[in-house]
């Protein structure tokens, strides 16, 4: 019986140390972190700002939701995630996203050069900095 | 001559005329060492289904029917085969990198599950290429399993 207390108490003890190293993160960052813990912060920031508006589970843009749903992304298996990344890479490479029609009404939604570079590098999938 | 005779004659002239429009169908090559089915990812059963229902467009082993040599249907065949091979050419499987393989397998699962492939215009002319629900389910399951295998293989190489 004593063993069953060991793990929880160790966890609590561990948490005390983790608290000491926690950085201040903005609300949006924390939200997306829950969605996709493996994604680099700079990628998440672009996705949150430029993609998530249409590509989410509650999206009214049915086509956008069907093609890519960031809320579902994290829950899918790794190989499926990589397949999705490859498709993102292809679509962005062709300059098809965000759609030209969408940008007519919302020109600020355009990906900046650095946004695009960030997404392209991440979605290429090869580089794993460890 | 009556009007309908003129029209018929005109159509005949146009039909003969368009036969001289150059149209080079994508080449057929049956020697493809990098082919998907030769590289251990496909069971006999899946391989037969892929060959029957997909390979005529999505590989270098296209079997051209007679109407692919007659305009204007030849233009359609040319365009479809060209585009199909660009999307995925199973004959060149080993030339794809891991990300492309995953993308293709995921697309296979989606397209076959939703009944968009093989295309209706193709199965209309080639009824043997039709897939029933059980066959579709098998191809989808194969594609999804193979995605994990492909991703793991790459991890081992790293």
Q: What is the pLDDT of residue B32?
A: 87
Which residue of A lies nearest to B103 if distances are taken between CA atoms? A83
Whether residue B110 lies within 8 A of chain A, CB to CB, comes out as: no
In a domain, A62, yes or no: yes
* Contact across the interface for A80 and B147, Cβ inside 8 Å: yes
> For position A56, what pLDDT does the model report?
77
Tell me if B56 sits within 8 A of B65, measured CB to CB.
Answer: no
* A91 near B CB under 8 A: no
* CA distance linking residue A96 with residue A87, whole number of Å: 11
Q: Is residue A56, in this structure, part of any structural domain at all?
A: yes
A82 inside domain:
yes
pLDDT band at B13 (very low <50, low <70, confident <90, very high): very high
Q: Which residue of A has its CA nearest to B110?
A: A67
A93 to chain B: which residues are within 8 Å by CB?
Answer: none
Q: Within chain A, where are the H helices?
A: 2-21, 27-35, 41-46, 62-67, 70-73, 78-93, 100-105, 113-124
pLDDT in tens, B66-90: 988 988 989 999 999 999 999 999 9
What residues contact residue B18 under an 8 Å CB cut-off, 6+ apart?
B71, B72
Do the chains contact at B102 and A90, CB–CB below 8 Å?
A: no
Residues 6+ apart with CB under 8 A from A10: none
Across B33-60, average pLDDT: 90
Does A10 map to a domain? no
Look at B151 and A79 and tell me if their CB atoms are within 8 Å.
yes
Whether A83 sits inside 8 A of B103 (CB atoms) is yes
Q: Is residue A4 part of a domain?
A: no
Domain that holds residue A120: 25-124
- The tokens describing B143, both together, are 């594609």
Identify the band that residue B155 occupies on the pLDDT scale cut at 50, 70 and 90.
Answer: low
CB-nearest partner of B151 from A82, A84, A124: A82
Instruction: Tell me the mean pLDDT in the region B57-73.
Output: 91
- Decide: pTM greater than 0.95: no
Q: What is the ipTM of this complex?
A: 0.71
The tokens describing B53, both together, are: 């229902």
Considering its fold, how many domains does chain A have in total? 1
The predicted pLDDT at position B78 comes to 93
Q: How far is A92 from chain B (nearest CA, A)?
A: 14
Tens digits of pLDDT across chain A (130 residues)? 556 677 667 666 566 555 544 444 444 444 444 445 577 778 787 777 788 878 877 777 777 777 888 877 877 888 888 888 888 888 888 888 888 888 888 888 887 888 888 888 888 876 444 3
Give the pLDDT confidence of B86-126 residue by residue, as tens digits. Answer: 999 999 999 998 889 999 999 999 999 998 999 998 999 89
Structure tokens at B6: 């003129």
Tally A–B CB contacts below 8 A: 37
Mean pLDDT of B4-18: 93
Q: Does the CB of B99 have a partner CB in chain A at under 8 Å?
A: yes
Nearest CA in chain B to A128: B158
Secondary structure letter of residue A7 according to DSSP? H
Instruction: Determine the pLDDT at residue A11.
Output: 64
Residue in A86, A126, A128 closest to B102 by CB: A86
How far apart (Å, rounded) are the C-alpha atoms in residues A89 and A122? 9
Q: Which of A73, A82, A83, A125 to mutate to probe the B interface, most B CBs <10 Å?
A: A83
| Mean pLDDT computed over B16-34 | 87
Q: What value does the mean pLDDT of chain B take?
A: 90
pLDDT of residue B90: 94
């Amino acid at each position: 019986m004593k063993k069953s207390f060991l793990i929880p108490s160790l966890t609590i003890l561990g948490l005390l140390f983790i608290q000491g190293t926690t950085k201040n993160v903005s609300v949006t960052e924390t939200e997306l972190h829950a969605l996709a813990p493996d994604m680099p912060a700079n990628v998440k920031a672009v996705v949150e700002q430029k993609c998530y508006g249409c590509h989410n589970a509650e999206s009214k843009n049915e086509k956008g939701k069907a093609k890519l749903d960031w809320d579902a992304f994290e829950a899918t298996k790794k190989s499926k995630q990589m397949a999705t990344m490859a498709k993102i890479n292809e679509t962005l490479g062709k300059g098809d996203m965000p759609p030209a029609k969408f940008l007519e009404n919302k020109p600020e939604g355009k990906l900046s050069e650095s946004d695009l570079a960030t997404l392209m590098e991440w979605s290429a999938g090869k580089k794993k900095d460890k | 001559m009556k009007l309908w005779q003129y029209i018929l004659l005109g159509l005949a002239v146009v039909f003969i005329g368009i036969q001289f429009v150059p149209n080079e169908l994508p080449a057929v090559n049956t020697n493809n060492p990098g082919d998907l089915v030769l590289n251990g990812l496909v069971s006999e059963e899946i391989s037969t289904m892929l060959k029957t229902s997909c390979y005529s467009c999505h590989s270098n082993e296209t079997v051209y029917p007679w109407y692919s040599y007659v305009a204007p249907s030849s233009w359609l065949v040319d365009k479809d085969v060209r585009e199909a091979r660009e999307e995925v050419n199973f004959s060149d499987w080993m030339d794809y990198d891991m990300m492309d393989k995953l993308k293709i397998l995921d697309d296979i699962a989606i397209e076959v599950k939703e009944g968009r492939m093989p295309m209706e215009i193709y199965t209309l002319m080639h009824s043997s290429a039709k897939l029933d629900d059980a066959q579709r389910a098998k191809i989808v399951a194969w594609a999804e399993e193979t995605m994990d295998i492909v991703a793991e293989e790459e991890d081992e190489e790293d």
